[in-house]
Structure 1
Amino acid sequence: MLRSTADHARAQQRLIAVTAAAVRREWDSIGSDFDGGWLRVGPRIVALMTAAQIGAARDGSAYVGQALAEQRITSTPSGAVNVSALTGAYSVDGQLVGDLDSTLYGAVVHARSGLAESLGDRLARGRSWLDMMTVTQVGDAGRAATGVGIAARPRIRYVRMVNPGCCQRCAVLAGKASKDIAFPRHPGCLCRAVPTGDGSTHGLVEAIEPGDVRDLTKAQRQAIADGADMNQVINSHRVYVSREGIYTPARNGMTTTEGTTRRGIAGKRLGAEPKGRAQRLSPEGVYATARNREEALVLLKQHGYLI
């Protein structure tokens, strides 16, 4: 890993931690009258978050040049990153969709929603939501500035750095290179972009191991322990966002359509018909079907998890 990348990641994490602690202190003083209390603490919380975004964006912009210099890559930017355009706003999946002032009132909404037996419980609900917002909104400002800084330089792309303790969605993107300015991420995502040129990306980021992925199922971990390719296992559990905003596993948990076209690994092995899809077992389906480990290994190979 580049020294500049490690330094940048630590600086961003410290900024987020300090900001989250300050936001919590303000929130905890709101009192039982949420609307009246928000008139007092809300502006201070917005100011704290905005200041942290400005710091994160400035650092994210400067980091691009530092990372390229460490790699001895020269690329003159066509312009400077406009930090003010990336701060004071609320983002969803990296897209700016509103202002922080109105959005952060969501802490009050969350505190009032759901079942809670005491004021302390309601404060905890709002505090948890603000923690997530701090991680996401401050982090997004830094990542957005890095993305703009990369896009402003010719022949520069980025490699995705994924932190241990990541989710499955991020794990399969670890180390992937992209020339797009877009940096797909979800609320609470801690991934970062490592700027680089068109050459080799070997050693830029650390590999993600199964133990680094926090939400693998028992069957997924067993399949990987039996020799299955981690990305194939994870892709079989690709998730969707329902109308209710809930992430749901593919199919019924036993089968999946991921990788089952004629060009997919599983599709080739299962004999998918032209313009059709084969029926592919998920790791859960494999272990529910197999009578012993030998059969499980055969099915893992047949369904494209062992390659």
Structure 2
Amino acid sequence: MIPAPTVEHYKRMQRLRAVAVLAARRAWAGVDSGDLSGSWQSMLPGLVGAVSLVQESGAVQGASYGAATLAAQGLYEAPQHFVNPEAFAGFASDGRSLQGLLYTAVPHTKGLIAGGMDVPTAVRKGGRFLEMVTQTTVADSGRAAAGVDTATRKNVGYVRMLNPPSCSRCSILAGRFYRWNNGFNRHPKCDCVHVQTTATAAAETEGLIHDPYEYFKGLSAAEQDRTYGKAEAQAIRDGSDIFQVVNANRGVKPGGLVTTEGTTRHGNFGRNGPRLTPEAIYGKGLSRADTLAELERYGYILPGGQNPTGVLRGQAEGFGALGRGGTRVGVRNAVEEARRTGVRDPLSRATMTAAERRIYDAQANWDAVRNGRNPFTNAKAAKVTPEVAARVEREYRKHILGY
């Protein structure tokens, strides 16, 4: 079976794509068919801002579900770095700016008109084209972040999850294990996602790897004809090799190589000059350590763990949630000492606010897991289960990284 966290991630991404499509539809409704370029230029900034926010949300989802997916298989592997979701917003997967991508609806529409289509129909089809590129770029942000998250975990790769109905090209790409540095081939409107796993588990776990032939057999003859083409479907039914019949590379491609988005002084990347996309970094054929260094250099992953004492806020009041009204001597003494000196011990839970304590515990629990200790029990022999590790990682992302 496909791990439940991956299925849930797909549903969340569907909702985010729907939000982006709705924003695109509303924006395109304001376009003036008499001044396509001018009117669309005035609508673009608002749409770019809206889609950028959805892209970042998609990247948060993509960066987060891998831990639970691995834990569900009993294969949890801690990340060596954490994905930076902000790095996946504001540009298209092929490297161009998001504004440049969304503007293409206008030349697409003008091309239809130049080909003889009446203006109202061309504008309507231009809107559908805009919706297609919008939902694709949101899906790509989630996939790209998931790919980087995979790269941060040793010995982890992925298999492709189909979400029927799937096209012929996606169906034959499913069912194989991809290493962490293999780009995710996709086409416009592709909704396939990564299922993080290991090579050994991918070979041994029934139901995780999808068989393209089983998918083909599960379709009716009419559905086979519609998905693969009438002649191609008949050839497969007659015993032809499905991989030879379907051209896996036609219309299916990885992301782009270079983007300039976020390279200004005020951008997310914060440096001038070209910025490589994650798949361009994978394509350099570097070692995993060097690849992680490049991903950090270009802003896709965050540096090592953060010190929660650097973000403490608030004042010490009362004896706190741990003080039991001052009846716990150690806590009462710590609070009174902080009041007397005006200085709180940043490592003492007794003088922390509830919010500070959540930050402190998230860091402490993550440190414990990384050292092989179960933070939820004092028993020295207690093992860190995959479920506990995934839970602690989730809390670390929430309270330390903010997503």
Indicate which of 234, 238, 248 corresponds to 1:226.
Answer: 238
Instruction: Show the counterpart of 1:110.
Output: 108
Instruction: Show the counterpart of 1:28.
Output: 29
Stretch moving more, 117-126 or 36-45: 117-126
Per-residue deviation, 1:143: 0.2
- SS of 1:172's partner is helix
Per-residue deviation, 1:42: 0.8
Matched, 1:187 2:188: yes
Instruction: Show the counterpart of 1:139.
Output: 139
Instruction: Show the counterpart of 2:289.
Output: none
Per-residue deviation, 1:79: 0.7
Taking a change above 3 Å as real, the CA distance of residues 198 and 226 of structure 1, as seen in their structure-2 partners, is closer
Per-residue deviation, 1:152: 0.3
Taking a change above 3 Å as real, the CA distance of residues 238 and 88 of structure 1, as seen in their structure-2 partners, is closer
Instruction: Show the counterpart of 2:81.
Output: 79
What whole-Å deviation, never above 9, does each CA across 1:218-249 have from its counterpart, x for those lacking one? Answer: 22222333344433433xx56657xxxxxxxx
Gapped regions of structure 2 (runs ≥ 5): 252-403
Per-residue deviation, 1:75: 1.1
Q: Is the 1:89–1:99 Cα contact (8 Å) retained in structure 2?
A: yes
Taking a change above 3 Å as real, the CA distance of residues 200 and 238 of structure 1, as seen in their structure-2 partners, is closer
In structure 2, what is the Cα distance between the partners aligned to 1:105 and 1:55?
A: 22
Taking a change above 3 Å as real, the CA distance of residues 238 and 63 of structure 1, as seen in their structure-2 partners, is closer
In structure 2, what is the Cα distance between the partners aligned to 1:102 and 1:232?
A: 36
Q: Whose helix fraction is larger, Structure 1's or Structure 2's?
A: 2
Q: Is the 1:158–1:193 Cα contact (8 Å) retained in structure 2?
A: yes
What whole-Å deviation, never above 9, does each CA across 1:267-295 have from its counterpart, x for those lacking one? Answer: xxxxxxxxxxxxxxxxxxxxxxxxxxxxx
Per-residue deviation, 1:7: 0.6
Taking a change above 3 Å as real, the CA distance of residues 205 and 238 of structure 1, as seen in their structure-2 partners, is closer
Per-residue deviation, 1:64: 0.9
Instruction: Show the counterpart of 2:373.
Output: none
In structure 1, what is the Cα distance between the partners aligned to 2:112 and 2:195?
A: 40
In structure 1, what is the Cα distance between the partners aligned to 2:77 and 2:165?
A: 34
In structure 2, what is the Cα distance between the partners aligned to 1:63 and 1:239?
A: 28
Higher relative contact order (CA 8 A, sep 6+): 2
Q: Whose strand fraction is larger, Structure 1's or Structure 2's?
A: 1
Gapped regions of structure 1 (runs ≥ 5): 242-307
Identity, in percent, stands at 36
Q: Is the 2:108–2:126 Cα contact (8 Å) retained in structure 1?
A: yes
Instruction: Show the counterpart of 1:63.
Output: 65
How many pairs does the alignment contain? Answer: 235
